[in-house]
Amino acid sequence: MKFINRFLFILFAFGLSFISNAQKIEKANELLYFINTLEKEHNVLFSYADDEIDNIIVPRQKKLSSLEENLQFLREVTPFDYSYHSESNILIIPKSGFKIFCIAAKDKLTKKGIADSYLKINKYIFHSDSNGQFKIPINASIVDVFVSAEGYIPEQLQIDTRKKECCPVFELSPFYEVLDEVLLKNFLTSGINKFTSGILEINYEDFGLLPGLVEPDVLLSLKSLPGITSRNESVSYLNVRGGTHDQNLILWDGIKMYHTSHFFGMISAFNPYMTKKVKLIKNGTSSKFGDGVSSLIDMQTNDSIVSDFKAEVGLNLINTDAIIESPLSQNSSVEFSFRKSINSLWESPTYDRYFDKTFQNTEVTNQDSQVSQQNNDFSFYDSSFNYKNKLSNKDYLKANLFFSHDEFSLNRFDIERNSVNTRSSDLNQTNVAGGIYYKRNWTKTTNTEIQLYGSKYNQNSINADFLDQQRLEQINEVQEIGLRVNLKTKLYKNIALEAGYQLNETGILNSEEIDNPGFFRRTQNSILTNSVYSQVNYQSENSRLNLQLGGRLNHFSKFEKIVIEPRFNLSYKLFDNLFLELLAEEKSQVTSQVIDLQTDFLGVENRRWVLSNLDNRPIIQSQQISTGFNYIKPSWFFNVDLFYKKVEGITTQGQGFQNQFRFSQDHGNYEVKGIDFLINKNLNRISSWVSYSLSENNYNFESLQPSRFHSNLDIRHVISTGLTYEQSGLKLSAGFNWHSGVTVTFPSDDQPLNPEEILFEAPNSRRLSDYFRLDFSSTYTFRIFNKVRALAGFSMWNVLGNSNVYNQFYLLDEAQTIQSFTQNGLDFTPNFVFRLRF
């Protein structure tokens, strides 16, 4: 913990050192600041209309000594005359012939005003207001206007001021859109966009509604997208195209997160109202990103600097939260969020459903005969903090901090000889991360980014056993620090280059201690990874062809090994409405999760992080290729993707076997091939979709018998449908999910009379019953006061209350009798939300 604390302190000390200078840098470019400086230096007073000189930028210039020289400079660079009313009073008035004209700058994707945008007419420069609007003096009928903003492609247009247009709009495109155009907006529902590169992005500022979710959940929302399942209905176990959850690279503002959920997988650990957007990449990942052989889930908080105070509070049947955004100056602002469970005040029906699902067949619910009474206490909370500062027109700084905590305690009592014995068991999970991000726009086509970050995850449990009079303490701890330097530049009109360097040091500790009999085991390892990467992005003149070609070179210190990872991403417009997509990549990772015993960590969160090693845990490497077609017509979207993926270096301990391979230690690979198909229909306020996935997922472990068999995540057929409706603040959403039964291993019919161990059939040779779930959601947004809006809504998960079994396993009891255990998904689960936005 010490090195993370020191590292985070250094990061924030580094960031805060910019604060005092940042405001001076930006303010020195404002006309108002310039005038105030002249008033102090020359003992004069300027008279002006505030709204006329507001947001006018003065170019930097060398120091001028006399007042007259400064006034002459201002006459040249601003649309005003500066005339003496008296010896000490100077009037600022618009030049003759000028009239006030309105122009607006908006984001091409979101259609929202860009607050920090700049407009140039001739030699005059203006800064927009918080809505992205400019009110500028103009003295010509036809003017050439140049508009720019950080992170956007500048636009230059000719405007006829004689037209009676209320306020002409410039739509600026984000830099990435030049070589990554939006293929489809409002994919499934509003706020989900699909790009030509295959990226799926959820924008929570404009998010609609998905079936079963009363409000957006950062990770749970992804399960509605094709190719993503969760065998156990958990956001801490997302399976992307047959991969395990630990094979997903999950980033929060560029920081890798080793813990992603609350309530042991039931909800995301990230406040959706603090998260601006999430990108999902299943294949064809940019060479900028290493790690995560299965997918990339990139969460990003808001980068914009607010000009007005904003706040919102919310309550649902699981937690309450609050978010505050406040400007510190014209060029800096802070954002803070806090969320906490409410079960200490009221254990709602939703909480009861979550609790029953989470703790089924664990130490919590499997009481032994001596226990006469038990009680438990559970809580979680998370908070995040962002500081943003526009140091100058070219420099941007962001510092952020994230903290989450889950705590569960179980107290058991038994009465023996008129005395009460108490045993307490505890499980704690804590995740803390922080970073400093700095961006410099050297020119309109070249920028650099530098990020320093640190992350720490800790899972600690104490399990007190009555029967054995034994106390077991287990610890799993992950610590990581990193540095990333990235360069983006536009080489030609349609060719861009991105290159960079990344350094990561990851350390993992695992510890076990038993008091009766005395036993202690502790392992601690670390790996230093140095990576360089580059990528060329090409877009043809007619935008029919979009190509990303790159590679990444990783050097792993412990292995003294270099791994080269090529990346390929192509999109080609075959016809007016038909697009071809071809993606390929190789990736690697050195961190993974394993299960030593199913009862570890109270059996609730039994996965622990480990590092690859030279002995029995190789570097995990993947090769993946996919091709698909996108057909787009007005209001219609058809998509089909064929994919093949092979992941090598997986271990039996990482698969969670509960059959004959439960205690095996071997490494091998899995291969998955399949097809995803989607139809999406939009009719004004209505959106509907049907998706179907067919896949086959097989293990290969050479030392096991048999060596090839179906994966634990082999779900052959998946069908999902949905229907959403939006009008005047009302949102309705309904849909169902169905998939064929998951694989399971049954005991053999030929068991000995008193078996010491269970004899099983061929591994994963049977399947459980099919899964089916019907969901519904509804929300309504309305205004209470002039500046206060409210949102109320409710949802129903598994409306029909289907008993969906996602796991079945077998154990021997004390009488050497085979006992069968099942684990079920959520029963009918309602939820309710109410939010106020100020």
Query: If pLDDT is split at 50, 70 and 90, which confidence band does 3 have?
Result: very low
The whole-number pLDDT of residue 569 equals: 96
The whole-number pLDDT of residue 366 equals: 65
Mean pLDDT of 192-204: 88
| Predicted confidence (pLDDT) at residue 1 exceeds the cutoff of 50 | no
The whole-number pLDDT of residue 469 equals: 73
Question: pLDDT tens across 281-337, in order?
Answer: 999 999 999 999 999 999 999 898 888 899 999 999 999 999 999 999 888 999 999
| 21 or 598, higher pLDDT | 598
H/E element, 721? strand 717-727
Question: pLDDT tens across 746-762, in order?
Answer: 999 988 887 888 999 99
| Predicted confidence (pLDDT) at residue 502 exceeds the cutoff of 80 | yes
Strands of the sheet containing 200-203, edge to edge, are 182-184, 192-195, 200-203, 275-281, 295-301, 248-252, 255-256
DSSP 69-100: HHHHHHHHHSSEEEEEEETTEEEEEEPTT-EE
Query: If pLDDT is split at 50, 70 and 90, which confidence band does 17 have?
Result: very low
Mean pLDDT of 804-814: 92
Question: pLDDT tens across 55-95, in order?
Answer: 788 876 667 778 888 888 888 888 888 888 888 899 988 88
Tallying the residues shown for the chain, one arrives at 838
H/E element, 166? none
Question: pLDDT tens across 431-473, in order?
Answer: 999 999 999 999 878 999 999 999 999 999 998 876 667 889 9
Mean pLDDT of 631-636: 89
C-alpha to C-alpha distance for 474 and 453, rounded to whole angstroms: 27
* DSSP E strands, 574-619: 578-589, 591-594, 608-611
Query: If pLDDT is split at 50, 70 and 90, which confidence band does 164 have?
Result: low
| Predicted confidence (pLDDT) at residue 419 exceeds the cutoff of 80 | no
Could you tell me the CA-to-CA distances from 1 to 7, 8, 455, 478, 613 in Å, in that order? Answer: 10, 11, 10, 10, 23
Residue among 835, 796, 809 at smallest CA distance from 353: 796
β-pair partners for 744: 766
pTM score, whole prediction:
0.83
Exposed / middle / buried, residue 627 (Cβ in 10 Å: 0-12, 13-18, 19+): middle
C-alpha to C-alpha distance for 581 and 196, rounded to whole angstroms: 8
CB neighbours (10 Å) of residue 776? 17
Q: Is the peptide bond prior to 747 cis by the omega test (within 30 degrees of 0)?
A: no
CB neighbours (10 Å) of residue 467? 9
- Residue 383, both tokens: 């908070």
| Predicted confidence (pLDDT) at residue 687 exceeds the cutoff of 70 | yes
Mean pLDDT of 602-622: 93
Q: What angle do CA 798, 804, 807 make, to 5 degrees?
A: 140
C-alpha to C-alpha distance for 375 and 533, rounded to whole angstroms: 53
The whole-number pLDDT of residue 110 equals: 65
Mean pLDDT of 412-436: 81
Residue among 547, 543, 565 at smallest CA distance from 556: 565
| Predicted confidence (pLDDT) at residue 743 exceeds the cutoff of 70 | yes
Question: pLDDT tens across 214-225, in order?
Answer: 998 989 999 888
β-pair partners for 731: 726, 779
| List of domains in the chain | 2-94 (3.55.50.30), 99-173 (2.60.40.1120), 178-299 (2.170.130.10), 300-837 (2.40.170.20)
Query: Which of the given ranges, 360-364, 391-395, 401-405, has the highest pLDDT on average?
Result: 401-405
| 688 or 368, higher pLDDT | 688
C-alpha to C-alpha distance for 345 and 75, rounded to whole angstroms: 66
Least confident span in 26-40, 594-608, 638-652, 799-813: 26-40
C-alpha to C-alpha distance for 99 and 120, rounded to whole angstroms: 16
C-alpha to C-alpha distance for 420 and 159, rounded to whole angstroms: 85
- Residue 178, both tokens: 């030049």
User: Longest C-alpha distance within the chain, in Å?
Assistant: 113
